[in-house]
Amino acid sequence: MLRHLLPLLLLLLCSNSIGRVSSHQESGEWSCDADSENQVEAEFRPGLVTVDGHADDWKDIDGFEFPLRPALDPDEDHEYKGGKMTVKALHDGHDAFFMVQVDGDYVYSKGTSNKCPSVALMFQIGESATYHNMGGCSEGRDTCNNKSCKGHEVDMMHFSIGNAIPGRLYGGNPIDNRDGYGGDRFGHLVDLYAWTPHCRYLDGLGPSGNDTSAQNDWKGAWWHSSFTTHSGFIEEDSPYASDGKKGTYYFEFSRPLRTMDRLQQDAQFTIGGSSKMSVAFWYPVDGQPWHGSGHYSIHCDWVPLEISSGNSKLTKSAPSVSANVSSAFALVLSVASLCLSVFVGYMLFRTPTVGPYTTMDGNL
């Protein structure tokens, strides 16, 4: 019976996925060649990195390289000329950490975010949320909400560095989190969610009302390799280095694996589980300010993010060795105690029954 059902099931599965692909193409000329090699793995490496924008502490972590192509037109000819983007990830059992690095001549214009590089992470929340169209809900700007677009939620973190001092920590802070939303008035490292590009909100805000139980759960910092000092920039040091210097931009982020979100506005990560992510990058090419949709992306679809459990081979073999040692030790101990009890029993047997016990009885 099962033998006959299996091909039928496979056929059903295949025709279902083919159907989905063609319906995807009907809605526009969007197409994306799947790349099964693509993935980001977050190893369990506690106590390794500090979120300060510096990449030295990440040097032993494998990076995953991606070409940067325009998100709206992923054409090879329009690839970002500066080079590939490297994405690294790890977790310490509580927080997830991301290091995003990309070569780029130094450009910084204080207070003008679209004349500075900028980076965003995006994760799937709802099971129906597509990479394309930021969740892919078909409702328009006036009708999208948490009911009509249910299942299409994507989670985003966007860092615009125009007001962020390099090496300083931005993102979730007590003042904005007290107001219960995903904003960051200091450095513009914000926590958002969306159903489509036109239905994008800071966590806690929404078209059908605000809910002050939300938080900005992200923290992050940035750096450029042309900076000569490693300690304490302040705002007056802006622009921190001279324009056009060759180097690499570093963007480092962290977020708890689980958040207290009750509104389906944060992706939740599971140790040993898999999520779907993407990274976007904005750069003022030839000094031209970028616009919102003019960003590069690491791929034209979701990239799997694997959150490894701490149960790797290395940590597995270690306890088994010590377990062997301790069980051998326990065996020696129990043999010794057996011998001791036999000896004690023998001595008791040999001792005359009248002894100290009777003396005590007599005293009472």
Ligand X SMILES: *[C@@H]1O[C@H](CO)[C@@H](O)[C@H](O)[C@H]1NC(C)=O
Enumerate binding residues for ligand X (CB under 6 A).
146-147, 205-206, 208-211
Least separation, in Å, of the C-beta of 228 and ligand X? 41
* CB nearer to ligand X: pick between 53 and 206: 206
State the Cα–Cα distance between residues 27 and 128, nearest whole angstrom.
16
Give burial (CB, 10 Å; 0-12/13-18/19+) of 292.
exposed
Least separation, in Å, of the C-beta of 213 and ligand X? 9
Least separation, in Å, of the C-beta of 195 and ligand X? 12
Least separation, in Å, of the C-beta of 211 and ligand X? 4
* CB nearer to ligand X: pick between 95 and 176: 176
- Extract the tokens encoding 20: 């989905």
- Extract the tokens encoding 233: 């920039």
Q: CA nearest 53: which of 217, 151, 171?
A: 171
Q: CA nearest 163: which of 188, 184, 192?
A: 188
Which residue, chain included where needed, has tokens 């904003």? 183
Least separation, in Å, of the C-beta of 278 and ligand X? 25
* CB nearer to ligand X: pick between 109 and 210: 210
Least separation, in Å, of the C-beta of 179 and ligand X? 8
Contact by Cβ (8 Å): 193, 155:
yes
* CB nearer to ligand X: pick between 39 and 145: 145
- Extract the tokens encoding 21: 């692909």
* CB nearer to ligand X: pick between 208 and 315: 208
* CB nearer to ligand X: pick between 58 and 193: 193
State the Cα–Cα distance between residues 271 and 197, nearest whole angstrom.
30
Q: Where are the beta strands (DSSP E) in 109-247?
A: 118-124, 154-160, 170-171, 189-196, 199-202, 219-224
